[in-house]
A and B are shown apart, each in its own frame.
Chain A
C-alpha cells in the first residue's frame, strides 16, 4: 500500500471556473452581486425595488437561481431588464459552472450591474464563490435576530447585510441590539441597511440604491483606470 500526499483544494474546480467568470466580468466592467438569504426574506421584492429605482441610470441584468420554478424570473422580467433563469433541479446552491452557462445567454456589453439571486438557503450558497464582487445577505425581521450566529458562514463573508421587513419589526420579538452585537462579532466590516419594501412608503431603499450606484461607479472607474 502506498500513501500519496495530495494537498489539493477540494473546491479547486469551482474556483477555477469562478476565476474565469470573474475575469470575463471584470473585462466587461460589470459589478456583480451574489445575493443570498433564506427563502422568503424578500430578495426578489428588494430586487424589484432596486431595479425600478435604478434601471434608468444603470444597466442591470439578473441571474435567478431557483430549484424548480421561473416565478422569480417572471417578476424580474416584468421590470424590463434581462434575466436568465437557472433551475438547479433540487440542488441547494449555485456554483461557478452554472453561472458560466448563464453568462453565455446575456449580452454582457450592455450590463453595468449583474445581480445573481442565489437559491433561498442560509447554509450552502455561502461555500461557493460565483465570481462576484460582493456578497449581500438579506435577513428579515420575522426570521429572528438569532440567525447570524446560527448561520454564521453566510453573514461573516458578506460585504453588506440587509435587514428587511422593518415594517413588521414591532410584531416580532426581533432584538435589533442583539443583531448588531452579533454582526459586530462576526463581520464588523459589513455595511448594514434596514429596509422595508412591500408597504408604501418603502424604507431604506433610497439609501441602499444610492450606495449600490456608488459601488457600480467605483467599479467602472476602477476598470477604466485598469484599461
Chain B
C-alpha cells in the first residue's frame, strides 16, 4: 500500500519539473525501479491511475523499467545476478555486501507539452 505514497511523491516531483520547464500537460512519466526496491510495479500502476486524476498528469502514461539486481563478490570478484534477495555468491558461497544495482527507485524522464 506504500505505493500510493510513492506515486504521490512522483506527482509532486513531476509537477515541479513541468512548471520549471514551462509544460502545461504531461504525456508520459518513465520510472526506473530496481528489483530490490520493494516496490510492486502492478501496485504502482494502480496507484498512478487513481492518483493522477485532477493533476497535470491526468492523461499521462506510466512507463516502468525494471532493473535487475546484481552483486559483485568481494572475495572472488564474480559478478552475479541476485535472485530473490539471495546474496550468497554462487561461486564461493560468501555473503555479498557489494550490490551494484537493484535498489533504484527514481524518475528517469518525463514527456509533455
Contact = CB atoms under 8 A, between A and B. Distances in A.
Interface of A: 1-14, 91-93, 95, 123-124, 126-128, 149, 152-153, 156, 184-189
A41 to B, nearest CB: 19
Given A7-B106, A8-B17, A93 B2 contact: yes
Contacts of B31: 10
B107 A7 contact: yes
Contacts of A4: 17, 21, 23, 109-112
B107 to A, nearest CB: 5
Contact of B86 (A1, A95, A128, A186): A186
Contacts of B10: 10
Nearest to B1: A92
B110 A6 contact: yes
- Nearest 5 interchain pairs by C-beta: A188-B95, A124-B2, A153-B38, A152-B85, A92-B1
Contact of B38 (A126, A184, A188): A126
14 contacts: A2-B23, A4-B111, A6-B14, A8-B17, A8-B107, A10-B106, A11-B105, A92-B2, A93-B5, A152-B84, A153-B85, A156-B85, A184-B95, A188-B95
Contact of A1 (B27, B38, B84, B85): B27
B1 A124 contact: yes
B84 to A, nearest CB: 7
B113 A1 contact: yes
